[in-house]
Amino acid sequence: MTSADKLLFILRLFSAEQPLWTVEQAAPVLNVSLSTAYRYFRSLVKAGLLDPVGGSGRYALGPAIIELDRNIRLSDPVLRAALPTMQWLVAQIDRAGSLLLCRLYQDKVMCIHQQHATDGPHRISYERGLPLPMFRGAASKAILAHLPPRHLRRLYDAHPAQIAEAGLGASWDEFKDRLRTIRRNGLCISRGELTPGTTGLSVPLFSPQRQVLGSLSIAHRGAMDEPSAARIGALLIAAGREIDAVIVAALGGTATSQGSASSSDPAHASGRI
Amino acid sequence: MTSADKLLFILRLFSAEQPLWTVEQAAPVLNVSLSTAYRYFRSLVKAGLLDPVGGSGRYALGPAIIELDRNIRLSDPVLRAALPTMQWLVAQIDRAGSLLLCRLYQDKVMCIHQQHATDGPHRISYERGLPLPMFRGAASKAILAHLPPRHLRRLYDAHPAQIAEAGLGASWDEFKDRLRTIRRNGLCISRGELTPGTTGLSVPLFSPQRQVLGSLSIAHRGAMDEPSAARIGALLIAAGREIDAVIVAALGGTATSQGSASSSDPAHASGRI
DNA sequence: GCGATCATTATCGTATTTTGACAATTCTGC
DNA sequence: GCAGAATTGTCAAAATACGATAATGATCGC
């Protein structure tokens, strides 16, 4: 662990449970002297990533983080493209349902926006930043199913146990099969995988180059009968298409080839599996 | 500029205007070799603060920032305490008004939450992270007026020109006078200082130790007649008191002394000016 | 107001670490 | 599978980060 890593590791110390740290507390955790810990903290404060609080030796996460998060919100093409459609969609579905916009980061899926049907009592947009498990829940699976083969192979080799446990197959071939089924459906449905008693529906979102960028999901409290599922699923798929179109328009896709292919199964554009 | 500073400076390169950087672009800006730049980027990616994008040499701000921002949202006592009252207040005021919650960070004022009266067309909570000028606008002045004398003295010595330009006095004595007036009013009103044609009303928020933590403001589109200003001002002051009470309850104030003083001018509890 | 106490910064010689050029490797698009 | 780019590994030189202590500065209580 190099010293730059230690410096950055400091930020990870701050959690909702322990949002305040003193330099004396942090130094032993980092295995550095008090002098060095002070130097690190000073650099982080100078960058705005930490903020001395109250005036008595305690530090909290700083304003730069909020600013950087704003930069992401302003520049993230998926978020910008999805917002209007999400507002439309949330009006179409019944109450007791939430919309989730998730984004793929390397090997992580993260919720980057949440929109509640009944926005009175619920806290709005409050679960932005929640990391989701890669192999559980419709939101993650919808993304997973459309990753390029190389990426999938790497993921499978890294986490075969987790994949088997999540019911995604006990072998590479089974894994491929399950994902192909999800792709064929154009929609992923899960029941109670993340929250007991909650039904999740999710569709993938694509870049102009047909790379999967994230997913749009509906979390519905309670079970869902078939007609409802069909109706809401159709709405969700339509919403996904619309967002894809907006993304293409925004990023100037120069749509290389596949203008002909039916967009019901966009995966085959990114290579056979 | 130490190497830790350079490492952290990389994050500042990413803006809404240029959200994507390659290592080759960044290296000359930092005055380091390509090898070192790659090492820095690797550390930042490992920490999740940057994210390789697309797959062709470009990097963007990473998921850790969104996660850290969530930590702040979950643990910031001002934000947690203010949310319910803001939801109540937004229902009391007419449309064409927005609520702003701002927080003091060292020498900066930053908007940490925004709530629109008409939350249909407006984008919700979208200006979180916007840094505000320290000496302009009601939200900043309301905070400024209640800073401890030492802090004020330091600020005045550092930015006398900005202060004069903002109409806050051409000398230290004038500066003190202006701020005392704001304190006496218990409320700061500004007209068109930040946005032309917008009236701002703002009250300060305090810690249990009566240190100023931030401010709660109403941004009202257009001019405001006297009766309206009085009515809304009273509501705002009441809201501020309520939030202060919640903060005291949350942080366990152990309210040291001043239980007797009228709370209309809380500043004298933190020292004379 | 003034002094005690804690948080923070400056000092400075030593040695650990980072640095940079280049080679090796991995990854991506075709 | 192959070309080309993106990224990582290697290694000697030396820059600079490190640690212990001393000095400063802020904050609290009296």
Two structure tokens written together for A112: 């980057």
**pTM, to two decimals:** 0.89
- B2, B3, B8: best to mutate for the A interface, most A CBs within 10 A: B8
Of residues A43, A52, A55, nearest to B8 (C-beta): A43
Find out whether A127 and B71 touch, Cβ atoms under 8 Å. Answer: no
**Would strands A21-22 and A188-191 be described as parallel, antiparallel, or unpaired?**
unpaired
Find out whether A107 and A155 touch, Cβ atoms under 8 Å. Answer: yes
Chain B: give the shortest CA distance to residue A157, in Å.
20
Taking CA atoms, B250 is separated from B77, B78, B86, B164, in Å, by 8, 10, 17, 38
User: Which nucleotides in chain D have some atom under 7 angstroms from a protein Cβ?
Assistant: 5-10, 16-21, 26-28
CB contact under 8 A, A112 and B66: yes
Of residues B39, B54, B71, nearest to A16 (C-beta): B71
A204-221, pLDDT tens digit by residue?
999 988 889 999 999 888
Taking CA atoms, A118 is separated from A122, A217, A218, B154, in Å, by 7, 16, 14, 48
Rounded Cα gap, residues A89 and A235, in angstroms? 8
Interface size between A and B, measured as CB pairs under 8 A = 158
Closest protein CA to C1' of nucleotide D26, residue: A55
Amino acid A257 CA to nucleotide D2 C1' distance, rounded Å: 22
The mean pLDDT value of chain B amounts to 86
Which parts of chain A sit beneath pLDDT 50?
Answer: 120-124, 255-273
B168-201, pLDDT tens digit by residue?
999 888 998 999 999 999 999 998 888 888 889 9
Give pLDDT, residue B73. Answer: 93
Under the banding of pLDDT at 50, 70 and 90, the label for residue B96 is low
A77-112, pLDDT tens digit by residue?
999 999 999 989 988 886 668 899 999 998 889 999
Find out whether B40 and B6 touch, Cβ atoms under 8 Å. Answer: yes
Amino acid A150 CA to nucleotide C2 C1' distance, rounded Å: 72
Of residues A16, A43, A73, nearest to B4 (C-beta): A43
User: Which is nearest to B250 in space by CA: B186, B205, B203, B215?
Assistant: B205
Chain B: give the shortest CA distance to residue A70, in Å.
5
Give pLDDT, residue B249. Answer: 87
* Residue type (1 letter), B92: Q
CB contact under 8 A, A110 and B5: no
